[in-house]
Amino acid sequence: MLELDQRNRYFDQLYNTPDLIYLGQNTNHFPLHPSVKQAMQDCIESEEFHAYAPPAGFEELRELILADIDLREASVLVTDGAIEGLYHACRTLCRPGDQFVTTDPGWKWPIAFAKASGAEIVEIPIYGPKYNYRLQPEQLADAMSERTRIVYLVDPNNPMGICYTADEIKAFAQIAKDAGAYLIHDCTYWHFADDHTMAARFYPERTLTTYSFSKWLGLAGLRIGAIIGDGPIIESLAQAPPNNLGSNVLSQRAALAGLKIKDEWFPEVQRRQRANQARINEAVLKIPGLAMPVYPSNGNFVLVDVAQASIAPEALCDVFRQEGIMIRQAGYHSQRFRDRFVKISTTVPEAWVERLCTLFPQAVENARGLNRDIDLY
């Protein structure tokens, strides 16, 4: 069977599992604000989707995205999820022989995109107390060369939940600038951070910032996001985009409505997901060998270190999967640290977290001695 078919069947089965408890993809499962739902219903009712949307997105949506991230001078392409912008930037900017520098752990897909364009991947290890679970500016400076084309920084970091300070971001931007490299600042999770700084403030010329509606607003399955940068870079990306026919109209209507109610709606989402983090932390601390090295997390997820419990992350994920709960194994984020942790999402109903916490001690016992050779993706 094709690897693709195997992987697809795996996700198809998960998606079609009745009442699956989604704690593995940092998706947001809180109910939508009524006006977001209404915007989608209105879109369906009017059948406006017979027409293509404007190529870079509805003007009002573009404006509101820039206002939300407070980069009003920048330009923006609305994309089919943040991932489309990442694909476009990595494939377009990387040339054979270039270097693509990122952290380990980090997010794997942009690595695949850069590789597909012939780039050499440089992964800087940042997991563990030795690194304080964050990229140090000196590490980045050491990793740079005249071949460095892109620095890809996930901030807040998925899967660790750390968020960089303004001084760190300023230093990273300066290092990228000194090397003449592009800085892709993947800010998919910034809404959940206590204090987040946009790198584009310090290096607007060659910083690309990603924006997602999957996490804070809960639109993962609708595929809507954006890529933001200085006018000339966005203009050049707009010359040959993967989708020049405008993003999904229904999704754009939902995103627009979401930005309009964000201030009233989102604080409660954040309160609930932080309370879920606290509940998981309490449960984890009672289990010998488990730890939550980054708490609170600045993302809508927490990382649980399992290295001292002598269990394979894959085994623990598989035990939970048999209970109808999806959590994520470290191998999705890192080869080097694949034995170290699992990741659990927190923008979910409290009852889901309660179920996870109730099962946790026994799940760890059941995972002991199980083989790690389980196909997970």
Ligand X SMILES: Cc1ncc(COP(=O)(O)O)c(C=O)c1O
The residues binding ligand X (CB under 6 A) are 26, 81-83, 107, 154, 158, 186, 188, 212, 214, 220, 225
| Residue 219 vs 233, nearer CB to ligand X | 219
| Residue 86 vs 319, nearer CB to ligand X | 86
C-beta of 100: minimal distance to ligand X in Å?
Answer: 15
| Residue 216 vs 265, nearer CB to ligand X | 216
| Residue 216 vs 352, nearer CB to ligand X | 216
Compute the distance between CA of residue 296 and CA of residue 303 in angstroms, rounded to an integer.
10
| Residue 265 vs 332, nearer CB to ligand X | 332
| Residue 158 vs 297, nearer CB to ligand X | 158
C-beta of 85: minimal distance to ligand X in Å?
Answer: 8
Angle at 344 between CA 136 and CA 102, to 5 degrees: 30
| Residue 154 vs 183, nearer CB to ligand X | 154
C-beta of 265: minimal distance to ligand X in Å?
Answer: 19
C-beta of 106: minimal distance to ligand X in Å?
Answer: 8
Residue closest to ligand X, measured at CB: 81
| Residue 52 vs 109, nearer CB to ligand X | 109
Residues with Cβ within 8 Å of residue 1, at least 6 apart in sequence: none
Q: What is the 3-state secondary structure (H, E, C) of the chain?
A: CCHHHHHHHHHHHHHCCCCCEECCCCCCCCCCCHHHHHHHHHHHHHCHHHCCCCCCCCHHHHHHHHHHHCCCCCEEEEECCHHHHHHHHHHHHCCCCCEEEEEECCCHHHHHHHHHCCCEEEEEECCCHHHCCCCCHHHHHHHCCCCEEEEEEECCCCCCCCCCCHHHHHHHHHHHHHHCCEEEEECCCHHHCCCCCCHHHCCHHHEEEEEECCCCCCCHHHCCEEEEECHHHHHHHCCCCCCCCCCCHHHHHHHHHHHHHHHHHHHHHHHHHHHHHHHHHHHHHCCCCCECCCCCCCCCEEEEECHHHCCCHHHHHHHHHHCCEECEEHHHCCCCCCCCEEEEECCCCHHHHHHHHHHHHHHHHHHCCCCCCCCCC
Axis crossing angle, helix 34-46 with helix 249-285, rounded to the nearest 10: 150
C-beta of 274: minimal distance to ligand X in Å?
Answer: 19
C-beta of 225: minimal distance to ligand X in Å?
Answer: 4
| Residue 100 vs 107, nearer CB to ligand X | 107
C-beta of 310: minimal distance to ligand X in Å?
Answer: 28
C-beta of 292: minimal distance to ligand X in Å?
Answer: 19
C-beta of 191: minimal distance to ligand X in Å?
Answer: 12
C-beta of 217: minimal distance to ligand X in Å?
Answer: 10
Residues with Cβ within 8 Å of residue 230, at least 6 apart in sequence: 74, 75, 200, 204, 205, 206, 207
| Residue 157 vs 277, nearer CB to ligand X | 157
